[in-house]
Amino acid sequence: MSDIDVAHADVTDVPLTFDDSVVLLDVREDDEWQRGHVAGAQHIPMGDVPARIDEIDRDATLYVMCHAGGRSLRVAQYLARNGFEPINVTGGMLAWAQAGRPVTAPEGPDGGSVGTV
């Protein structure tokens, strides 16, 4: 299977808020998500994407993120082959946290404290 080119974005080019027009798809595993994620992101683990593809808004600007950028690239390529126009977030959650962007963890003492990635 040949690689398909997808757009890439630096974490600083990704919005901090998400709505019907902009989606951040986090494809990390559940345990990674629980350790910390971007507020408002849509969580579908990589292995579940094919079965749950209809949950992803085809009309929204779609950013795809994982821990470091490798899995999200593979998912972005899969989505591109299936009619989406995804944008892979370069560096993933590691780069997001290193850039000082907000990370939430649901198990934090206040339900939204900064977590580790």
Catalytic residues: 66
Is the CA virtual torsion 26, 100, 91, 79 positive or negative? Answer: positive
What is the rounded CA–CA span in Å between residue 62 and residue 8? Answer: 11
Judging by beta carbons within 10 Å of its beta carbon (0-12, 13-18, 19+), is residue 51 exposed, middle or buried?
exposed
